[in-house]
């Protein structure tokens, strides 16, 4: 029996045809993966199903549990058991976890909110998701993956029938991902149907029952997982017309002399009596070299990356050199003046000004190039940015368009290109393709290779192990604030690196 059947859904945004007569179905209790490049129509489709786009603003129908569904709001959809947990959560930072979990449906006793039951039920759900947080903790104080799991728990407390997860594992560790998958398997036994949007194609075989692939607003493939031996290969080939092994482009870069060096580099933990976030790291990166650091969340790898750009909250000690010259990295201004660039993991929060235009974001790190004598040369800025946007194949109406209107992949291209214009000696890149589709990944990897081919030094810090192995000339494993393993290109296996990064030879020895 189908839990949901979609029939000829069509949606336009002005001249943009976002969905073109989309038809598909999902069996009750299945995990249905939805794959596609940014702009393929995935988000538009789930917004219709979840009531974000109300009935009347699209053509076509969808049937839920055998009945036509016509949601005029998110509240209507949730009342029918349809819940969307978006990739970018919108929570009230000051609200307690318990209050968020039971928002607008608090259990009552004698007409009053039963506070004791709220707290006990919240504690039970937190334990179910193995979240070691207090029911009274503020949502704004939680890490992004904790907010996400709490949001999923909220849907479960409200009798969810259709659970829509948009990039749920993008910020989760492997262990947290497995906890989520365990919950999803339990949901399946309860008859909950899950629509699962992800760019992490290797996960499909682990958790999904079926896959729907979208391209240019249309469904181009529908298949059951047990019908296909190589799921990622089929999805990639259908999405972008190339094989998975072509994802990491080969580069003819020449590796030269040491360009950037740090020695005895440490970052103190602001929490009393806690070990340092980064402890006594010594590292050298050569010109033209791409060095990849793989670390699980909490390993200190991200703290190390931030500290190199002077953006760490902790006290930093140690020595740094560029081209043999001692430099200070106390703040981002000093780092930029020394020839460094940093692409943060959260592009929307830390890397871009979403309300500003594409052109303005692209030239932010290189204003001197477009502002001779301190006055902005608008014509030069527009000419420079138009050339970049064209070469990067950024999908946009105009370079004057707010960058917040672009898809995640196009935003990330601009975020990388912004630093290319600044012509740094070293660029530190955190999670360069998080939440980015396969096609955009290839373009971003080409940008990274281009910088290395120009003689820059590139440091990639990522929790995507395949990305680190595919892009790096040298691979480093990070654990407890230290480098615990090092391999040259081609020497490391996923198992070897994961064992070191996890700090355990037992967990991954099978």
In a domain, 314, yes or no: yes
Residues 154 and 84 in one domain: yes
CB burial string 240-271: b at 16+ within 10 A, e below:
beeebeebbeebebebeeebbbbeebbbbbee
* Helix or strand holding residue 441 (H, E): helix 438-453
For residue 51, give both structure tokens: 């009531």
| pLDDT, position 242 | 61
DSSP 91-158: --TTSBHHHHHTTT---EETTEE-HHHHHHHHHHHHHHTT----TTSBGGGS-HHHHHHHHHHHHHHT
| 3-state SS record for 251-271 | CCCCCCCEEEEEEEEEECCCC
In a domain, 407, yes or no: no
What is the C-alpha to C-alpha distance for residues 15 and 397, in angstroms, rounded to an integer? 11
Boundary residue ending a domain (218, 243, 268): 243
Range of the domain at 469: 258-353+423-502
* Helix or strand holding residue 449 (H, E): helix 438-453
What is the C-alpha to C-alpha distance for residues 54 and 75, in angstroms, rounded to an integer? 11
Residues 296 and 228 in one domain: no
| pLDDT, position 243 | 61
Query: What CATH number should be reported for the domain holding residue 279?
Result: 3.40.50.300
Residues 140 and 217 in one domain: yes
Residues 33 and 98 in one domain: yes
Sign of CA dihedral 458, 462, 466, 469: positive
Residues 94 and 64 in one domain: yes
In a domain, 339, yes or no: yes
Residues 229 and 309 in one domain: no
Boundary residue ending a domain (243, 266, 295): 243
What is the C-alpha to C-alpha distance for residues 288 and 285, in angstroms, rounded to an integer? 9
Strand partners, 323: none
Q: What are phi and psi of 18, to 5 degrees?
A: -75, -40
What is the C-alpha to C-alpha distance for residues 243 and 317, in angstroms, rounded to an integer? 45
In a domain, 251, yes or no: no
| pLDDT, position 505 | 52
In a domain, 510, yes or no: no
In a domain, 333, yes or no: yes
Residues 196 and 122 in one domain: yes
Residues 128 and 267 in one domain: no
| Average pLDDT for runs of 10 along the chain of length 510 | 92 86 94 85 92 94 90 92 84 90 84 90 88 92 82 84 88 78 86 90 91 91 92 82 69 90 93 84 97 88 94 91 94 93 87 90 84 80 85 85 86 88 93 80 89 95 89 94 94 86 55
Domain total for the chain? 2
In a domain, 413, yes or no: no
| pLDDT, position 142 | 87
Boundary residue ending a domain (191, 208, 243): 243
Residues 143 and 274 in one domain: no
For residue 104, give both structure tokens: 């607008």
Residues 27 and 91 in one domain: yes
| Nearest Cα to Cα of residue 388 among 371, 365, 354 | 365
| pLDDT, position 507 | 41
List Cβ<8 Å contacts ≥24 apart for 394-401: 394/358, 395/39, 396/358, 398/358, 399/357, 399/358, 399/359, 399/362, 400/357, 400/358, 400/359, 401/357, 401/358
Residues 130 and 225 in one domain: yes
In a domain, 450, yes or no: yes
Give Dmax (Cα) for the chain. Answer: 76
For residue 297, give both structure tokens: 């969340």
CB burial string 372-406: b at 16+ within 10 A, e below:
eeeeeeeeebbebbeebbeebebebeebeeebeeb
Residues 64 and 141 in one domain: yes
DSSP state of 396: -
């Amino acid at each position: 029996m189908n839990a949901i059947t979609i029939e000829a859904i069509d949606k336009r945004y002005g001249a943009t045809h976002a969905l073109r007569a989309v038809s598909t179905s999902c069996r009750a209790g299945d995990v249905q993966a939805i794959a596609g490049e940014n702009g393929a129509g995935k988000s538009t489709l789930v917004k219709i199903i979840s009531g974000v786009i109300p009935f009347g603003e699209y053509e076509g129908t969808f049937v839920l549990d055998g009945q036509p569904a016509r949601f005029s709001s998110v509240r209507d959809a949730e009342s029918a058991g349809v819940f969307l947990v978006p990739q970018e959560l919108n929570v009230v930072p000051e609200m307690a976890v318990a209050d968020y979990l039971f928002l607008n449906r608090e259990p009552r006793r004698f007409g009053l909110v039963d506070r004791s039951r709220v707290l006990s039920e919240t504690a039970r759900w937190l334990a179910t998701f193995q979240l070691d947080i207090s029911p009274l903790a503020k949502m704004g104080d939680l890490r992004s993956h904790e907010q996400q799991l709490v949001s999923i728990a909220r849907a479960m407390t409200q009798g969810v029938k259709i659970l829509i997860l948009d990039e749920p594992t993008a910020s989760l560790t492997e262990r947290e991902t497995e906890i989520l998958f365990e919950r999803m398997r339990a949901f399946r036994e309860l008859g909950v149907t899950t629509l699962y949007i992800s760019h992490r194609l290797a996960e499909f075989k682990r958790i999904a029952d079926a896959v729907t692939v979208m391209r240019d607003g249309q469904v181009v493939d529908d298949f059951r997982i047990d019908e296909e031996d190589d799921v990622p290969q089929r999805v990639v080939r259908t999405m972008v017309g190339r094989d998975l092994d072509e994802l990491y482009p080969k580069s003819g870069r020449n590796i030269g002399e040491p360009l950037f060096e740090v020695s005895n580099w440490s970052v103190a933990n602001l929490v009393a009596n806690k070990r340092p976030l980064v402890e006594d790291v010594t590292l050298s990166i050569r010109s033209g070299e791409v060095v990849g650091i793989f670390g699980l969340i909490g390993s200190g790898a991200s703290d190390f990356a931030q500290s190199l750009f002077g953006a760490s909250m902790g006290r930093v000690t140690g020595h740094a050199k560029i081209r043999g010259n001692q430099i200070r990295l106390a703040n981002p201004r000093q780092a930029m003046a020394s020839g460094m660039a940093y692409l943060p993991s959260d592009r929307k929060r830390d890397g871009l000004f979403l309300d500003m235009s594409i052109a303005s974001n692209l030239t932010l790190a290189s204003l001197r190039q477009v502002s001779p004598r301190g006055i902005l040369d608008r014509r030069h800025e527009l000419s420079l940015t138009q050339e970049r946007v064209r070469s990067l194949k950024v999908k946009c109406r105009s370079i004057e368009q707010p960058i917040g209107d672009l898809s995640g992949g196009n935003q990330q291209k601009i975020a990388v290109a912004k630093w290319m214009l600044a012509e740094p000696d070293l660029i530190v890149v955190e999670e360069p393709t998080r939440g980015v589709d396969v096609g955009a990944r290839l373009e971003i990897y080409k940008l990274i290779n281009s910088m290395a081919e120009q003689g820059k030094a590139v440091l990639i810090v990522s929790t995507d192990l395949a990305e680190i192995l595919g892009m790096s000339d040298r691979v480093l494993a990070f654990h407890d604030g230290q480098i615990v393993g090092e391999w040259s290109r081609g020497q490391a296996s996923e198992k070897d690196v994961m064992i070191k990064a996890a700090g355990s030879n037992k967990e991954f020895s099978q």
